Amino acid sequence: MRSKKHAVVSLTLLCAVWIVMHSCASRKSEPLTGDEFTSTDTHVLNGEKVYMLHCQKCHPGGGEGGLGPAINSNPSPGFDKSEIATEDLQDIASYLKAWKR
């Protein structure tokens, strides 16, 4: 009973931190930054393509919140290598870092 209560408190705290963290995320899309995003880095370009396939639907606008939380201030992909290859995960991280510009 006590461990269940502990788990609920921990989860609530984790959520609170997560909500505060993500509510601070700023919007990075081109109309708002006034900059067209370009890159010649093949890892960034591949990362953007893979992001569009796996991540964009829940974090549209280059990492804004939607169905999921905003991730444009915390560029760390939440997939594991069984879903996306390690190299592609690294490329997504490179893309989000570049996008954060």
Partner 1 sequence: MIIAFAGCYVIRGFEGGGQIGTLPERPVNTADVALHPGYKIELVGEGFTFPTAVAFDASNTPYIIESGYSYGEVWQDPKLIKLEEDGKRTVIATGSKNGPWTGVVWHDGAFYIAEGGTLEGGKILKVTIDGTISVLVKDLPTIGDHHTNGPVVTNGYLYFSLGVATNAGVVGPENKDFGWLLRFKDFHDIPCKDVVLSGVNYESDNVLTDDPDDKTSTGAYVPFGTSTTPGQIIKGAVPCTGSIMRVPVGGGTPELVSWGLRNPYGLAAAPDGRLYVTENGYDDRGSRPIWGSGDVLWEVKEGAWYGFPDHSAGKLMQNDEEFKVPGNKAVRSVLQTYPGPPPEPVAILGVHSSSNGFDFSKGAQFGFAGEAFIAQFGDMAPNVGKVLYPVGFKVVRVNTSTGVVRDFATNKGKRNGPASWLEKGGLERPVAATFDGTGSALYVVDFGILKTDGSSHPQARTGVIWKITKQ
Q: Give CA–CA dist 12/61, Å, rounded.
A: 28
37 touches partner 1 by CB under 8 A = yes
| The one among 52, 81, 87, 97 contacting partner 1 by CB under 8 A | 52
Min dist CB 20 to partner 1, Å, is 12
Instruction: Provide the phi-psi class of 62: left if phi over 0, else alpha when psi is between -120 and 50, else beta.
Output: left
| The one among 66, 85, 87, 97 contacting partner 1 by CB under 8 A | 66
19's tokens? 């909500």
Min dist CB 44 to partner 1, Å, is 12
Whole-angstrom Cα Rg for the chain: 16
Of 33, 54, 55, which is closest to residue 99 (Cα–Cα)? 33
57 touches partner 1 by CB under 8 A = yes
State the residues that interact with partner 1 by CB under 8 A.
11-12, 14-15, 18-19, 26-27, 29-32, 34-37, 48-49, 52-53, 56-58, 60-62, 64-70, 78
